[in-house]
Amino acid sequence: MSSSGKVAVAGVVAAIVLFWAVGFWAGLLVLIGVPTAAYLLLDSSQRRRLRGLSRKQIGR
């Protein structure tokens, strides 16, 4: 299994555990809010590099 596949499986497992532990809406807020906050904490050059990386992977 590729590393991105392992990350996807871990994300699904974490979501199921989080929804079960704290409830659906709180879990959804955490699952959307944490990556959004992390992205907003990057500075502009880091965001640009991240956008460029994801564009390169789409074209593969």
pLDDT (0 to 100) of residue 53:
73
Instruction: Give the pLDDT of residue 37.
Output: 92
The answer to whether residue 57 scores a pLDDT higher than 70 is no
Domain boundaries, the chain: 3-58
Q: Which string of DSSP letters, residue by residue, matches 6-46?
A: HHHHHHHHHHHHHHHHH-HHHHHHHHHHHHHHHHHHS-HHH
| Residue 30 neighbours by CB under 8 Å, 6+ apart | 18, 22
pLDDT at residue 11, rounded to an integer: 83
Segment 3-53, tens digit of pLDDT:
778 888 888 888 889 889 999 888 888 888 888 999 999 999 998 888 877
- C-beta separation of 32 from 40 below 8 A: no
pLDDT at 26: 87
